[in-house]
Amino acid sequence: MKKRRMFIRMITASLMRRRSRMIVALLSIAIGATILSGLVSIYYDVPRQLGAEFRNYGANMIMTAADGSFTSADMEKGKKAVPSAELVGAAPYRYENIRLRENPVVAAGTDPEQARAASPYWLIDDGEWLQNSGELLIGAKVADSFRLKVGDDIELSFTPEAEREAAAENKTADDNYKTFRIVGILKTGGTEEEYVYMTMGDLEELTGVSDKIDLVELSVSASSDKLGEYAEDINLSVPSVHASLVKRVTASETTVLSKLQALVLLVTVVVLALTMICVATTMTAVVAERRREIGLRKAIGASNSSIIKEFMGESMLLGFFGGTVGSVLGYVFASQVSIRVFSSSISFRPLLVPITIIISIIVTGLSSLMPIRSATEVDPALVLKGE
Amino acid sequence: MFGRMIRGTLFRQWKKMLMIAFTIALGASLASAMLSVMLDVGDKVNQELKTYGANIRVVPKSASVLSGLYEVEDGGTGGYIREDELGKIKTIFWTYNIVDYAPFITVDAALENGEKVKVVGSWFDHHLSLPTGEELDAGLESMRSWWELESGAWIDEQKESSGKEAMVGTELAGKLGLSVGSRISLAGKESSDTFTVCGIFDAGGDEDNEIYIQLDNAQALGGLDNKVDSIDVSALTTPDNELAERAAKDPKSLTVAQYELWYCTAYASSICWQIQQALTDCVASPVRQVADSEGEILNKTELLMILITILSLIGAALGICNLVTASVMERSQEIGLMKAIGAYNGSVSLLVLTEVFVTAVIGGTAGFFAGFGFAQIIGHSVFGSSIALRPMVIPIVAVLVFIVTMIGCIPAIRMLLGLRPTEVLHGK
């Protein structure tokens, strides 16, 4: 009991007395531990965060009708196969040929909020996003050819199925009309620029046919293997729906994301290895300068093992403190990175704290073991004499 | 005398000096590896993102307005791009940023049983020898990397006997019962021909119902000599900023200086603008799905790497600083002796600084090359290509190492100056 008290006193006293050197050592351990815990948290969080960034490419899964009828109830059932946390957006689309100033145009009915979530790359060139009933979002090419601009009111017409024959026989068909206000002009660089977009309800009103969907675009934040499982689930559980992956997006995402992950992993490994060696050399230097002290202890009768034990205890204590400080700082760093780069918070990994502390203790312990051992092997008289 | 003292320390205490040099080398290698990777990561990731396909699409001017809307039956929308102008794409200012491109011509053809199919003519691995002397293999094989070949192979345009080969989408092949080696005859508007199926692909999109053949074969089928109806261009671009967005709307709204800046930066919009100027009557526009997302991901990755680099630079700096402080302080006895026999504070500090500086130069140089080696390991194992040596890394690392070692010396020197020779020599 007494012995242990003495041990603890010696360690703490030595730390306190040689304050400036110990701060140097502690600082270097803390930096190493910060880099360790910071980079490891980033490494674990990057796939999730980058995966979310890749959702900017838009839908990676689509659901279409398998047997002709596709209703919103089917869509809801299909959506259930995907965990809601992973579902970024699920936008239903229905396409109809309507007429704008007696020229045929493809109109798409959708859920504006979901469409925006599923296709973040759509750019509203002018005006704002579609929100309410009675509003119309038109593709840039449509705007160009009909010379339409934001704020214009325009009447769209649709010939219902029953009236088509009349139209074919050159009789005047009894069309449906509805007036819309143009709220925005859409730019995508793709075929979307040739369509006009309205809310699903408006399209149902215009056509007189309700609850019909042509296609659902799903943007799911998951790996392509998992996506494949979800698609299979949907195909099995909802027979009226056929889900398939958008290969261009999923295949490319897998290639690029795996490269980026490998990059972060390698960078982490290289930085960690170099930092740990740096910490080790500093510890070695700090311990090596105490050869005289070791010599003195030996001269007054301390055994080698007790000296090693005491010095190791001291550096491990340093390692413990450094590791604790470092794991806190590392978390702060990682969450700063996460907020700045991905504007989202990072999850705290409790397991990382003990791991950081243990690795710090091991690194400091091992790096001081070598100089201590070499110091204990020397004849005390020589050391004290200063040779 | 001064030189001899320095040499004396370096040789007699080579073990300690080696330790300092080693730590400085570690720090310098960390700094140079991270800086090299960081500066090159944008280009590398940009290359990787090319797997998403073209980020610029070029269509004829008259077709860009409403061709898709009317679904004109005879296919005669009137506007085409001239095939003989395709080479001009590689003559624009940003020619080296255009990594790949492929023209398309779509013709309707009838099968033997009278069924209509969509036939697309394009390049597969078309060899281009440009007037600038550059050689380039461009085409679908690299631009449609997500196509999965279910059987067979890509059409090889460079093969001697490459004649009438076709690639068929998986759905169409299933419907018609085609397999590799089967022959299909296609009757176009102008002529008809028989093709050998050389590959069946799964593209996961509309292409699965189409037939792909070489450009000249498709032109012959449709009687559309020298005509192309769209071009996909894959270019390395700089993420858009506010200037690029303004310029994309109307380049004429910029001031001369802004215009120069915009024109000489590889924004998607300025590349589009230059393509439009190079080709007759065409409209080039960025495919936002690819161009915009590329920008997002590039910016994020670069920022991430910058922050990691900053962290490791701080780590390297403190590591070097600590060790220098610790190892200089260790020499208090020696310095005390020097002071006892009459050395001035100034000359003692100069001696210590010079010693550390010489060590730092040796360690820093070794570390720089080691770090560049680490960067190559990262480059080769992640991206399969080497990381370019940026000249700016050298001064950054040199200045960093210099400042850091000197800062590391400051507390040690302050302590050495405060030493009282008698106390030190007495062993207190």
Per-residue model confidence as pLDDT tens digits over B202-249: 887 788 888 999 888 888 888 888 888 889 998 888 888 888 878 877
Distance from CA of B261 to the nearest CA of A (A): 23
Q: What is the average pLDDT across A136-158?
A: 87
**Buried-exposed string B147-183: b where 16+ CB fall within 10 A, e elsewhere:** beebebebbebeeeeeebbbbbbbebbeebebebeee
Q: What is the average pLDDT across A249-275?
A: 83
Q: Do B308 and A42 touch (CB under 8 A)?
A: yes
Whether residues A299 and A341 fall in one domain = yes
Pick among B40, B272, B292 to test the A interface (most A CBs inside 10 A): B292
A241 within 8 A of A73, measured Cβ to Cβ: no
Q: Do A267 and B381 touch (CB under 8 A)?
A: no
Q: Do A141 and B64 touch (CB under 8 A)?
A: yes
The tokens of B131 are what?
Answer: 């007037």
pLDDT of residue B91: 82
CA gap B233, A327 in Å, rounded? 48
Please give the C-alpha separations between residue A133 and each of A143, A178, A200, B377, in angstroms, as whole numbers: 20, 11, 9, 57
What is the CA B165 to chain-centroid distance, rounded?
A: 34
pLDDT of residue B72: 45
Whether residues A360 and A217 fall in one domain = no
Sequence letter at residue B162: S
Is the pLDDT at A324 greater than 90? The verdict is yes
Q: Is B330 on the interface with A (CB under 8 A)?
A: yes
Nearest CA in chain A to B55: A189
Whether residues A297 and A317 fall in one domain = yes
Whether residues A275 and A355 fall in one domain = yes
Q: Which residues contact A1 (CB under 8 A, 6 or more apart)?
A: none
Handedness of CA B317, B320, B323, B328 (dihedral sign): negative
Q: Which of 60-99 (A) contact B at CB < 8 A?
A: none
| Mean model confidence pLDDT for chain A | 83
Choose among B49, B305, B415: nearest Cβ to A256: B49
Handedness of CA B286, B287, B289, B291 (dihedral sign): negative
CA gap A47, A54 in Å, rounded? 10
As to burial, measured by CB atoms within 10 angstroms (0-12 exposed, 13-18 middle, 19+ buried), residue A20 is exposed
Q: Which of 392-421 (B) contact A at CB < 8 A?
A: 411, 415
pLDDT of residue B298: 85
Give the tens place of pLDDT for each residue, B244-290.
878 877 778 888 888 888 888 888 888 888 888 888 888 888 888 88
B125 within 8 A of B157, measured Cβ to Cβ: yes
Q: Is A247 on the interface with B (CB under 8 A)?
A: yes
Whether residues A358 and A301 fall in one domain = yes
pLDDT tier at B427 (50, 70, 90 boundaries)?
Answer: low
pLDDT of residue B74: 43
Give the tens place of pLDDT for each residue, B53-82.
888 888 887 654 444 444 444 444 557 888
Whether residues A109 and A12 fall in one domain = no
Is the pLDDT at B381 greater than 90? The verdict is no
pLDDT tier at A87 (50, 70, 90 boundaries)?
Answer: confident
What is the CA B185 to chain-centroid distance, rounded?
A: 43
In chain B, residues with a C-beta closer than 8 Å to the C-beta of A144 are 65
Is the pLDDT at B335 greater than 90? The verdict is no
Residue A239, domain extent: 59-245
Is the pLDDT at B358 greater than 80? The verdict is yes
pLDDT of residue B162: 60
Is the pLDDT at B200 greater than 80? The verdict is yes
Distance from CA of B68 to the nearest CA of A (A): 7
The tokens of B274 are what?
Answer: 């230059």
Whether residues A149 and A287 fall in one domain = no
pLDDT of residue B68: 45
The tokens of A186 are what?
Answer: 């859409």
Q: What is the average pLDDT across A67-92?
A: 84
Domain boundary among A223, A245, A267: A245
A232 within 8 A of A78, measured Cβ to Cβ: no
Domain boundary among A185, A212, A245: A245
pLDDT of residue A383: 67
| Mean model confidence pLDDT for chain B | 82
Choose among B146, B307, B319: nearest Cβ to A31: B319
Overall residue count recorded for chain A in this entry: 387
Q: Which residues contact A360 (CB under 8 A, 6 or more apart)?
A: A29, A32, A33, A36, A319, A320, A322, A323, A326
The tokens of A328 are what?
Answer: 């806190």
Q: Is B281 on the interface with A (CB under 8 A)?
A: no
Q: Which of 133-192 (B) contact A at CB < 8 A?
A: 145-148
pLDDT of residue B366: 92
DSSP label of B388: P
Whether residues A14 and A102 fall in one domain = no
Sequence letter at residue A169: E
Which of B246-250, B365-369, B390-394 has the weakest average pLDDT?
Answer: B246-250
* Ranges B10-14, B352-356, B397-401, most confident: B397-401
**Buried-exposed string A83-93: b where 16+ CB fall within 10 A, e elsewhere:** eeeebbbbbbb
Whether residues A80 and A136 fall in one domain = yes
Q: Is B19 on the interface with A (CB under 8 A)?
A: yes
A109 within 8 A of A198, measured Cβ to Cβ: yes
Q: How many CB atoms lie within 10 A of CB B2?
A: 10
Q: What percent of chain B has pLDDT over 70?
A: 94
- CB pairs below 8 Å between A and B: how many? 229
* Count helices and strands in chain A by DSSP H and E runs: 13, 10
Is the pLDDT at B416 greater than 50? The verdict is yes
Whether residues A235 and A137 fall in one domain = yes
To 5 degrees, how large is the angle CA B107–CA B108–CA B112?
Answer: 130
pLDDT of residue A168: 64
CA gap A106, A97 in Å, rounded? 5
pLDDT of residue B71: 46
Q: Which of 182-241 (B) contact A at CB < 8 A?
A: 202-205
Whether residues A225 and A296 fall in one domain = no
pLDDT of residue A165: 67
pLDDT of residue B69: 44
CA gap B46, B96 in Å, rounded? 14
Total of domains in chain A? 2
Q: What is the average pLDDT across A254-279?
A: 82
Terminal-residue alpha carbon distance, chain A: 38
pLDDT of residue A84: 84
Element (H, E) at A255: helix A247-288
- What is the ipTM metric for this complex? 0.78
DSSP label of B92: S
Q: What is the average pLDDT across B351-379?
A: 88
Is the pLDDT at A35 greater than 70? The verdict is yes
Q: Which of 178-217 (A) contact B at CB < 8 A?
A: 187-191, 194
To 5 degrees, how large is the angle CA B153–CA B157–CA B158?
Answer: 110
B62 within 8 A of B78, measured Cβ to Cβ: yes
- Greater model confidence, A138 or A48: A138
Closest C-alpha among A386, A359, A290 to residue A36: A359
pLDDT tier at A327 (50, 70, 90 boundaries)?
Answer: very high
Domain boundary among A202, A221, A245: A245
Whether residues A122 and A37 fall in one domain = no
pLDDT of residue A171: 62
In chain B, residues with a C-beta closer than 8 Å to the C-beta of A333 are 311
In 3-state terms, what secondary structure has residue B324? helix
Q: Do B326 and A286 touch (CB under 8 A)?
A: yes
Is the pLDDT at B112 greater than 50? The verdict is yes
